[in-house]
Amino acid sequence: MSSDNQSFLGEPPTNFILLGVSDRPWLELPLFVVLLVSYILAMLGNITIILVSWLDSQLHSPMYIFLSHLSFLDLCYTMTTVPQMLVNMGSSKKTISYGGCTVQYVIFHWLGCTECIILAAMALDHYMAICEPLRYTVIHHILCQQLVDTTWVSGFGNSLVQVVLTVCLPFCGQQLLNNFFCEVPAMIKLSCADTTMNDATLAMLATFFVLVPLAFILLSYFFIAHVVLRIWSSKGLHKAFGTCSSHLVVVSLFYPPAIYMYLQPPSSYSQKQGKFISLFYSIITPTLNPFIYTLRNKDVKEALRRLLERIWRFCRR
Element (H, E) at 177: strand 176-177
pLDDT digits (tens, 9 = 90+) for 48-66: 889 888 887 777 778 888 8
* Higher pLDDT, residue 213 or 13: 213
pTM of the model: 0.85
pLDDT attached to residue 4: 44
Q: How far apart are CA 75 and CA 158, in angstroms?
A: 20
74's CB contacts (< 8 A; 6+ apart) are 42, 46, 115, 285, 286, 289, 290
Whole-angstrom Cα Rg for the chain: 22
Whether pLDDT at 209 is above 80: yes
Residue 173's domain is classified under what CATH number? Answer: 1.20.1070.10
Average pLDDT for residues 97-101, to the nearest whole number? 85
Percentage of residues in the chain having pLDDT higher than 70: 84
Q: Which of 102-106, 116-120, 154-158, 189-193 has the lowest mean pLDDT?
A: 189-193
By residue range, what is the domain housing residue 187?
Answer: 3-315
Give the number of domains in the chain.
1
Closest CA to 19 of 32, 28, 11: 28
pLDDT attached to residue 240: 66
What is the phi/psi pair of residue 15, to 5°?
A: -155, 170
Residue 3 pLDDT class (50, 70, 90 cuts): very low
Whether pLDDT at 2 is above 70: no
Q: For residue 149, give Cα distances in angstroms to 69, 70, 74, 146.
A: 10, 13, 17, 5
* Higher pLDDT, residue 248 or 24: 248
pLDDT attached to residue 8: 44
CB 117 within 8 A of CB 141: no
pLDDT digits (tens, 9 = 90+) for 170-187: 877 667 888 888 888 888
CB 303 within 8 A of CB 58: yes
CB 196 within 8 A of CB 150: no
Q: For residue 70, give Cα distances in angstroms to 119, 213, 233, 253.
A: 8, 15, 31, 14
Contacts of range 306-312, beta carbons closer than 8 Å, 24 or more positions apart? 306/56, 307/51, 307/52, 307/55, 307/56
pLDDT attached to residue 300: 79
Residue 270 pLDDT class (50, 70, 90 cuts): low
Average pLDDT for residues 95-100, to the nearest whole number? 85
